[in-house]
Amino acid sequence: MIVAQTEELRPQVETKGLSFQVDAPVDLPGVMADRSQIERVVTNLVINAIRYTKEGQIRVGAELRGHYVAVSVSDTGTGIPQEYLPHIFDKFVQVPGAATGGAGLGLAISRLIVEAHGGQISVQSELGHGSTFTFTLPLAS
C-alpha cells in the first residue's frame, strides 16, 4: 500500500529536483485501515515535505514496531520551530514565514484519520535540518 502510493508521488518530488527514497519492506504484516484514508495521510505528508524542502531528499519508510506498523516521512527541509511543534497537528496552524499553499488543515485531518484507525502521529523536527512525521497503524488480527 505505502510503496504504490509513494510511487505515484515520485514525479512531483523529482520535478522539484529532490531525491526520493522509499524503504518499505514488502513482507510487512497487514494493518487494519481504510486504504484511501491512509493514502490521503501519506500524500499530505509527502506534499508538505515537497513544499518545505528546497534541496536534498524526501524519504518514506515503514517498519514493524511491536503490534503496529510505523510509517515515516522525512525531509531535509526548513524544519519547524520548537514553539510550534506542540500545536502542529491543531487546525489552522501555520508557521509564520513558511511556504504558503495550504489552509492549515492537512496535518489536523491526518491526525484525525490516524487516531480513528487506532494509531498515533508525531513529529520530530530541527529548524534548518528538516522534519520527520511518523504515524502508526495497528496490525490486522
Q: What is the pLDDT of residues 8-26, one digit of tens each?
A: 999 999 999 999 999 989 8
Q: How far apart are the first and last CA of the chain?
A: 18
The pLDDT tens digits of the residues spanning 37-50 come to 999 999 999 999 99
Query: How many other β-carbons are positioned within 10 Å of the β-carbon of residue 76?
Result: 20
Q: What is the pLDDT of residue 64?
A: 96
User: Which residue, among 35, 31, 22, has the nearest Cα to 66 in the 3D structure?
Assistant: 31
The pLDDT tens digits of the residues spanning 78-122 come to 999 999 999 999 998 877 766 666 677 899 999 999 999 999 999
Could you give the residue ranges of the DSSP H alpha helices within the chain? 2-15, 35-52, 106-116
Residue 31 per-residue DSSP state: B
